């Protein structure tokens, strides 16, 4: 009688064979590993696995290098130490007349945005003015390079890795070409300084031209800012001064109490401007 093998032994052999046949997945290249190029190559593979097209990956990441100046700025950030009186006194008076002029210039757009989203134009123009001087100073850092640098650095790697993926999604969607993506050193983009994740979530094509353009298109900029505030709970027709629910929404825009109070104050000044 031929020798027999128990079903248990056969099962054990099958498991052993399957374990031998499975190749271990290559380990991801660690942040701050001393080899940015290897890290970037690994990131490209991960981006493709997450559904980002090869075209967007190639266009967005071609020639991207590490930027030490971005890390220097990240390391040298100071806690906001100015009082509300100091900050608002420095920021609001030089912008009040220009803000009032923008209210008139974009009056019909702001009215349509308020009808659609419930956010008053004064609030949007105040944010616009404080963030970039009404689109004049949007920043000159190459966004994708900044995000790649901060994602490679271990301090907030996962946060900025996610933002870098969303920057590539902006490219993939056709909103911006990589060469146009310039902004603040930490990756904020556009005239009211959206991180790529906020761009993907809240950017609006308000004028219907087929693109969400927060760098050049003022109706898109203002409507997207309104959409962001609504996303965090803005209540139509309610006050925005400190102590109100809408003020808490302004703090979701910028967690600094002084900055949020300055937005509220600037908006109130614009509401009273002739």
Q: Is 131 a catalytic residue?
A: yes
| Confidence class for position 19, pLDDT limits 50, 70, 90 | very low
Q: Does 94 score more than 90 pLDDT? A: yes
What does pTM read for this prediction? 0.87
| Confidence class for position 11, pLDDT limits 50, 70, 90 | very low
Residue where the block lists tokens 């100015």? 82
Among 131, 163, 248, 257, the active-site one is 131
Q: Does 24 score more than 70 pLDDT? A: no
What integer pLDDT is reported at residue 7 of this predicted model?
Answer: 38
């Amino acid at each position: 009688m031929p020798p027999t093998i128990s079903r248990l032994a056969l099962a054990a052999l099958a498991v052993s064979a399957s374990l031998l046949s499975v190749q271990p997945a290559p380990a991801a290249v660690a942040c701050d590993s001393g080899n940015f190029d290897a890290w970037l190559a690994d990131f490209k593979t991960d981006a493709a696995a997450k559904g980002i097209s090869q075209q967007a990956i190639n266009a967005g990441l071609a020639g991207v290098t590490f930027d030490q100046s971005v890390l220097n700025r990240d390391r040298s950030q100071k806690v906001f130490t100015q009082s509300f009186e100091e900050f608002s006194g420095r920021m609001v008076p030089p912008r009040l007349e220009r803000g009032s002029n923008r209210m008139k210039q974009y009056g019909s757009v702001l009215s349509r945005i308020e009808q659609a989203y419930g956010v008053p134009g004064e609030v949007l123009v105040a944010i616009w003015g404080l963030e970039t001087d009404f689109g004049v100073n949007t920043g000159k850092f190459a966004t994708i390079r900044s995000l790649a640098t901060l994602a490679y650095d271990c301090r907030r790697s996962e946060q900025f890795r996610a933002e870098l993926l969303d920057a590539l999604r902006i490219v993939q969607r056709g909103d911006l070409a990589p060469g146009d993506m310039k902004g603040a050193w930490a990756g904020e983009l556009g005239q009211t300084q959206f991180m790529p994740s906020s761009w993907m979530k809240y950017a609006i094509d308000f004028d219907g031209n087929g693109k969400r353009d927060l760098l050049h298109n003022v109706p898109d900029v203002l409507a997207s800012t309104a959409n962001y505030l609504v996303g965090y709970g803005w209540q139509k027709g309610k006050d925005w001064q400190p102590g109100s629910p809408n003020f808490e929404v302004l703090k979701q825009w910028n967690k600094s109490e002084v900055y949020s109070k300055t937005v509220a104050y600037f908006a109130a000044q614009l509401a009273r401007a002739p």
